[in-house]
Structure 1
């Protein structure tokens, strides 16, 4: 199956663009209602600011096209209720990102100080008692916890019929657990200095693919009461495109432009993460007997060296031994297999075109 082109691309881009203001309105309404003055005013305001700050909104977009793929109508009361329910996905994403930044000691997010850094800076400016960094971490953890609680609330209070909520609850439960499990697998991989490509792909599957693409599609299709075979096809698509998305993210982590991505280059290396890109690089270095590359990569990972000169040397080495080309090939293969799954005749044609365009956006993006 080929990527959508011409009129099809224009039509699906327009349909996806139509979703953006609907989602933004529902997000804003929900946050406005929940951010009334109260005991959680400061962390509520921080969460609302974080969510409103932007992001790609991929998860609710995939959920919407899961809804459409399963036969959900684009307009009407049921569609409006579905969009309200998909607000939960942006709040779940906020939980993941805020906690991830604390665990990874990230300095920035979306071009601004990460939540824990912002709270730490406020503590220092205010000359409060105690450790500023510790205060920032604790406050950010609470912001993430609040996001998770509000995500559940958003789904439950969206106005879904009882049978629709019951169908949605299965993928929603799985998604929350898989997201947390993926974070734990990521921590374990760093602690164990995991270099197996199989294991790093497992981390990518649970930390990113499942809750970014596969489960949002599953959630939307379940709400639409889609046929089991359609849900299965969408999950295969989501699995493959989700992993390809993470592989692209790995490449951007080394070769991306911080002005475009909103986060510093080299964060994964600074955290000692053996991403699939690094795993492939180490494997190729061993096969080619490039001990110099092996030493460079391990020194960078173990010593957490991310000065510009070291990062440039790592980038050059990964290109030279073919790791970048190998990852690009894997991205292409996963994208192709994901698109083949969409050929199932039960998938709505408009949704198929939109998901094909979204696959291209997710796997060849610049940010």
Structure 2
């Protein structure tokens, strides 16, 4: 079975569930705080639209890999992981000061604009950031509740929520480490990889698979094999994400290829270019990396330095090797040949993706 044949039909099931979920939440919100709460859910629904639903698909894949048969019961849990994913992105956009996500303005940017139009005084940036934090927290708590209310027995739901809480905390550690290391000099490759492991690999790959597997009642000790697959693949995912963040097609990614440069993001692309570039390239890269008002010509110069220093090829090769490591763990997860093929095609997608 091909990767897309497995994930795309299931994405439609998740979307159908999410449509009903948001309708219900907006109704509840109108009763609770009609002047502000419905808009919070409206903005969240717009924000979550159009995603690949990969993480939700991984919940089902993890569930099936360990013998799960009640596939309809998994849909709300998959949707919960997607909601949780988007809630984290809402907060990440605030931290990174990103103005676009999936081709639309980020939530804090939209609330900032709303404040300017509606109130026309005080601090619109603070208002936008504050509302985005509230929207993100709302999503995280509702995601946990969806898992807790799913049609599995109490023990299995408890195990899934525990696993979910675990990878959420690791993600927060990774985010905090990323923020802190921005102010450090002389970063090492292991520092960047550790950020990618905590911030991306857990909540993108290991976490969703583990939540799904937990719903089968499997012993937590047996979930370790998911780390053998998910950690290298998750790091590869982030390396490819960083490549797309600078070299991707903005129409496909929905994100400016200058935003990571403006942010001064901690990436292996940047670190390796500093290590292997010429003295002139290094001087110029340091000057431009993190420049908030960088122009298109300067951004193009940064890309050229990353290419000429060999950094782009190095990161692409690193991602492929991590993908190969992940593939070695597949037979340990499941003996089902069809599911093994899904895992293998997933690895190929992650390493080769364009959005």
Contact 1:208 1:242 (8 Å CA) reproduced: yes
Q: In structure 2, how many angstroms separate the alpha carbons of the residues matched to 1:355 and 1:29?
A: 30
How far does residue 144 in structure 1 lie from its aligned partner after superposition?
0.8
Contact 2:228 2:326 (8 Å CA) reproduced: yes
The counterpart of 1:60, out of the listed 49, 56, 59, is 56
Contact 1:70 1:227 (8 Å CA) reproduced: no
- CA separation of 1:193 and 1:303: change in aligned 2, threshold 3 A: farther
The answer for the alignment partner of 2:314 in structure 1 is: 326
Equivalent positions of 1:89-128 (< 5 A) are: 89-128=81-120
Q: In structure 2, how many angstroms separate the alpha carbons of the residues matched to 1:158 and 1:34?
A: 17
Cα deviation, 1:283-306, whole Å, max 9, x if unaligned, reads 222xxxx11111121111254453
- Structure 1 residue 49 and structure 2 residue 46: aligned? yes
Equivalent positions of 1:39-188 (< 5 A) are: 39=33, 40-51=37-48, 53-73=49-69, 78-188=70-180
The answer for the alignment partner of 1:295 in structure 2 is: 283
Contact 1:70 1:347 (8 Å CA) reproduced: no
**Which consecutive unaligned segments of at least 5 residues does structure 1 have?**
1-7
Q: In structure 1, how many angstroms separate the alpha carbons of the residues matched to 2:136 and 2:341?
A: 35
The counterpart of 1:262, out of the listed 251, 254, 261, is 254
Contact 1:68 1:348 (8 Å CA) reproduced: no
The answer for the alignment partner of 1:27 in structure 2 is: 18
How far does residue 137 in structure 1 lie from its aligned partner after superposition?
1.2
**Which consecutive unaligned segments of at least 5 residues does structure 2 have?**
none
The answer for the alignment partner of 1:4 in structure 2 is: none
| SS of 1:35 mapped into structure 2 | helix
The number of residue pairs the alignment matches comes to 349
Q: In structure 2, how many angstroms separate the alpha carbons of the residues matched to 1:349 and 1:224?
A: 20
- CA separation of 1:309 and 1:86: change in aligned 2, threshold 3 A: same
| SS of 2:217 mapped into structure 1 | coil
The answer for the alignment partner of 1:13 in structure 2 is: 4
Q: In structure 1, how many angstroms separate the alpha carbons of the residues matched to 2:44 and 2:286?
A: 37
The answer for the alignment partner of 1:338 in structure 2 is: 326
Cα deviation, 1:326-345, whole Å, max 9, x if unaligned, reads 11111111000100110227
Cα deviation, 1:25-78, whole Å, max 9, x if unaligned, reads 122222222221131222122222222x221212111111111111112xxxx2
Q: In structure 1, how many angstroms separate the alpha carbons of the residues matched to 2:320 and 2:290?
A: 31
| SS of 2:342 mapped into structure 1 | helix
Q: In structure 2, how many angstroms separate the alpha carbons of the residues matched to 1:284 and 1:103?
A: 29
| SS of 1:160 mapped into structure 2 | coil
The counterpart of 1:284, out of the listed 276, 290, 294, is 276
Cα RMSD (Å) of the superposition? Answer: 1.7
Cα deviation, 1:89-129, whole Å, max 9, x if unaligned, reads 11111111111111111111111111111111111222444
How far does residue 276 in structure 1 lie from its aligned partner after superposition?
1.3
Larger relative contact order, structure 1 or 2 (CA cutoff 8 Å, min sep 6): 1
Contact 1:70 1:231 (8 Å CA) reproduced: no
